[in-house]
Structure 1
Amino acid sequence: METTRKWGVAVNELLDVRDLTVAFQSKDKSKSLIPALDSVTFTIKRGETLGLVGESGCGKTLSSLAVMGLLPESARVQSGQLVFDGEDLLALKAAEHNKVRGVRIGMIFQDPMTSLSPYYTIGNQLMEGMRYHLAMTKRQAKERGIELLRRVGIPEPERVFTDYPAQLSGGMRQRVMIAIAISCEPDLLIADEPTTALDVTTQAQILELLGDLQREKGMSLVLISHDLGVIAEMCQRVVVMYAGQVIEQAESKALFASPTHPYTRALLAATPRLSSKQERFYSIPGSVPAPTEWGTGCRFRSRCEQATDTCGEMPPLSRMDGQRYVRCWYAPDLQSTLPKEVRA
């Protein structure tokens, strides 16, 4: 029988996001709360790679910022738990959270040019976390910083250590962000679009580097990406988000072999394929609704070809066979059409 830790978290689960609900306070006189995340629930196992996918504005980055404790000042966590290695991060005081953020949980932010300060050298920004969290001397932090730059594939690390971000290419800055994120050897690394705006060759190098680091350190990896090909190659499990909700999650192989939710199917259908003979690529009609337009029913119904009157009510996130969860009233019917070998 599998033993459990505090909060009932299984030993092999590093992070358990439970019913996380976040809203933003409006800037008008009403000071009303605008929803942003709605009962987001998923787990991350030790040593696994979990993919978060969905269009822009679906809540992927906001979920990761909540885990990091870096939500904007106007954000309000209304309910839920973020149980990391047996402790609820939302229950920690600021000083206690600082001992987790950057040490046990690292994050590679989406845009390294805006995430790195233009006023400080690469070395200063790399040493800061190690000196604060690991109580290293300046000399120790410098030696480790240069070694980290060398480890992430940066040539002439001693020179780059004294450079400023503007002196580096986009790929080099991204490697610096990775070095900073892993400098304290975190148990969990969150990579938010780590290959955005990089050329194909650099993308492949960055992804290979992340895979190598994960295997060496045994850390868990959350990969946020719009590139479904990257997710299919890198991740063991996938969480699909839409309009602030988790609408499907399953093992990667099963999800890509035969997606269940209409939105997941549409995402995969919209993926360009070199072998396609179609003159025009498929695109999902409409756009992700703004939080003020969510309403009470299924949030994908205005774009779904299979929507009926039943979809006017919010469907629950229901467990199918094995490890597949789907938020759709017609999930059982859709699931029954899947071959047994890909039901998960």
Structure 2
Amino acid sequence: MNHLRDHTVRDAGTKSITSERERPDQNPMPSHAFRAMALLDVRGLTVTTTRPVPRRSAAQPGENEVFRVALTLMQGESLALVGEPGSGMTATALAIAGLLPSTATVTSGSILFNGQELAGLNGRAQARLHGTNIAYLPPNLAGSLDPTRTILSQLATPLRRRLGLDRPAARARALKALVRVGLDNPEVVALSYPGDLSTVVVQRVALAAALSLNPELLIAAIPADPAHARPLADLLRLVRALQSKHQFALILVTDDVGVAAECCERIAVLQAGRIVEQGSVDELFASPRHPHTQRMLDARQRYSFSPQDSTPGAGTGVLQVVALHSVDASAFYHGADAIAG
């Protein structure tokens, strides 16, 4: 931990000569008290990846997957990390969530969350934060659930272990989490196994699990998929509605700037491990300054999240009520406008 702090102190004397939107990774380090005013403040984050080498081979130097990334997020704010595969957006998100793979390491920089330094935290401390204060929604939502356990078991167990709830209280809170994501038959879903449920219901269950402990920050890695535009729009509209209602902060990781613009207030565009440009959605769409940002804008898909597009036949709009049928269980998911508290 100390070597990380020392690195950030040395970087504090380097004065930026360009604007924040042009080179956000080169900002001088503000005081700890100033940074603690934000929910999340990342400065000079560098993530190094070590490639496996054959036995008896000389160790190879690591490669920087993320280099001197800087970003700030306030309570209730939404930020999208946008980039192509290999841009560093996923590694940045995993570093913040404390979920980097064993081959990747935060080698320098600072991740301040609610005034607490996360860079260099041991595994036990990271585990306490993960799921309670910071929740991560992986790109493979179905893979985040255990196929051998009921939905109720998977939602209630963390509530009992982390919050000390008894079985009835944990069950009630798990059912409320399922209702929150729009599932009308939470008792039926709760007693089902993931394999009994449709893909769309499983997605809602994964989101309910991520939000069941009321985290202050949700990191959602949801790749754009034009082939499944309607379910994608439906899921993202739900995430956006819940974030707006419950005021948790949101980091969305996506490879499509159009999706980012529909769900977030600000966008950070990454290329080759660096943030090349960041700003509000209006700023980036009106006057992109970096060529890579312009390329991302040109390649964006057309998604619609507005309520007026919620009738059948309205392009890729969201159905106000979507019937979700499965093998042994069925539920109905209401649109974001009808979400229960």
Normalised-by-shorter TM-score class: 0.7 to 0.9
2:169 is matched with which residue? 140
The aligned counterpart of 2:146 is: 117
Contact in 2 for aligned 1:108/1:194 (Cα 8 Å): no
Is residue 168 from structure 1 mapped to residue 197 from structure 2 by the alignment? yes
| Residue of structure 2 aligned with 1:7, choices 26, 29, 32 | 32
Superposed CA offset, 1:98-128 (max 9, x none): 2211101111111012221222221111112
Separation of aligned partners in 2, 1:196 and 1:122: 26
Corresponding residue for 2:107? 78
The total of aligned residue pairs comes to 270
Whether 2:274 is the aligned partner of 1:249: answer no
By how many angstroms is 1:130 displaced?
1.1
Larger mean Cα displacement after TM superposition, 125-134 or 100-109: 125-134
- Given candidates 124, 127, 132, the residue that maps to 2:156 is 127
Q: 1:225 aligns with which of 254, 273, 279?
A: 254
CA distance in 2, matches of 1:197, 1:129: 34
1:189 aligned counterpart, secondary structure: strand
1:68 aligns with 2:97: yes
Q: Check 1:58–1:78 CA distance in 2 against 1; reply closer, same or farther (3 A cut).
A: same
- Shift in Å at residue 30 of structure 1? 2.5
CA RMSD across the alignment: 2.1
Gaps of 5+ in 1: 275-344
Can you list the C-alpha shifts for 1:300-339, whole angstroms capped at 9, x where unaligned? xxxxxxxxxxxxxxxxxxxxxxxxxxxxxxxxxxxxxxxx
Is 2:231 aligned against 1:206? Answer: no
Q: In structure 1, which of residues 6, 9, 16 is the aligned counterpart of residue 41 of structure 2?
A: 16
Q: Secondary structure at the match of 2:119?
A: helix
Asked if the contact 1:25–1:31 (Cα under 8 Å) also holds between the matched residues in 2, the reply is no
Match of 2:39, SS?
strand
Deviation at 1:18, TM superposition (A): 1.1
Q: TM-score, normalised by structure 1?
A: 0.73
Q: What's the % identity of the aligned pairs?
A: 37
Match for residue 34 of structure 1 among 63, 71, 86: 63
Structure 1, 162-171 or 235-244: larger mean CA deviation: 162-171
Greater alpha carbon shift after TM alignment, 211-220 vs 261-270: 211-220
SS at structure 2 position matched to 1:186: coil
**2:73 maps to 1:50:** no
- Structure 1 residues 9 and 170: CA distance shift in structure 2, 3 A: farther
Displacement after TM superposition at 1:201 (Å): 3.2
Contact 1:6–1:87 (CA under 8 A) maintained in structure 2: no
When structure 1 is superposed on structure 2, of 29-38 and 73-82 the one drifting more is 29-38
Per-residue CA deviations over 1:158-186 (Å, capped at 9, x if unaligned) read 11111111222222111111101111101
Hey, which bits of structure 1, 4+ residues long, moved more than 4 A? Answer: 194-198
Structure 1 residues 78 and 153: alpha-carbon distance in aligned structure 2, compared to 1, 3 A threshold? same
CA contact (8 A) 1:195 1:206 kept: no
Contact 2:200 2:231 in 1 (8 A): yes
Q: Which has the higher contact order (CA 8 A, sep 6+)?
A: 2
Taking the aligned partners of 1:34 and 1:45, their CA distance within structure 2 comes to 31
Partner SS for 2:259 = helix
- Under a length normalisation based on structure 2, what TM-score does the superposition of the two structures give? 0.74
What residue in structure 2 maps to residue 307 of structure 1?
none
